Amino acid sequence: MYKMRVLICILNIFVFYSCKQITDVSKLPEILSEDNGISNKEFNYLPTNTTGAVYKKHTYTLSYSEEYEQAEWVAYVLKSSDIMENNYKRPFFEIDEEIITGAADWRNYKKSGYNKGHLCPAGDRTHSYEDFKETFITSNISPQKNDFNAGIWNRLEQKIRYWAKRQDSLYVITGGVLNDNLKTIGYESVAVPNYFYKVLLSKDHTKMIGFLLPHEDSNKPLYSFITTVDEIEKLTGIDFFPSLDDAVENRLEATKEYSNWDF
């Protein structure tokens, strides 16, 4: 019995120190500037969270909602150097073992009729196979209809990569709108969002754009789904840029202007 207690203590210590959950939110800028979780000093801030469970991966950071069994947001810097013409073989999805409360099992998606929809896309992390593989974990996915995932969601992901190549760096925040009475799938009741969003900020903080997409495919132009970041914040209860200068934040979050984005 004594040996068992010792073993349990050792395992608990290992889990505590190997897990990258961030519990002191006040230290987020300092912690996240260490590597590519949020890599550029210009982007060393994160959204607020409603979960108390923020995890820093190597190339992105997420806030995991145990209630909805997915991230309420995933945030990362997308640089032109992240996007390479590497044709990596797609790995199998794995359960994110770092989520202390337990990330959703990929088996929830099996025969559900929904795709494992990436939040941080694999295509945004093709600089190395390690970066690419890191996107194939269950804390980085949300249930998406196939025609949505392969259709307008994919079109938006491609457009964002196009912008990142032309502008060198973008800050990206993405997720599903998580609220009450959503449909669920699987034995862990993974929520199926009715809407998904993406919010982008330029490296020089001169422009911002928000997209709110109904969970269905569409042939409409991408700019049809532009809304103010203020509106997405109201729907999600998240302040996406709490550390951005207030004057800049208030001006950029209130606009739907997109003439300075190349569509």
- Domains parsed from the chain with CATH numbers: 41-254 (3.40.570.10)
Instruction: Provide the percentage of residues in the chain whose pLDDT is more than 90.
Output: 82
Per-residue confidence (pLDDT) for residue 16, from 0 to 100: 35
The residues facing 94 across adjacent strands are: 137
Q: What is the pLDDT of residues 139-150, one digit of tens each?
A: 999 999 999 999
Q: What are phi and psi of 75, to 5 degrees?
A: -125, 140
Listed residue (101, 137, 107, 102) closest to 119, CA to CA: 137
Instruction: Find the angle CA(253)-CA(36)-CA(11) to the nearest 5 degrees.
Output: 115
Tokens of 121: 């896309």
Per-residue confidence (pLDDT) for residue 26, from 0 to 100: 43
Q: What is the pLDDT of residues 19-76, one digit of tens each?
A: 456 644 444 444 443 444 554 445 667 999 999 999 999 999 999 999 999 999 999 9
* Contact criterion met (CB below 8 Å) for 189 and 69: yes
Per-residue confidence (pLDDT) for residue 168, from 0 to 100: 84
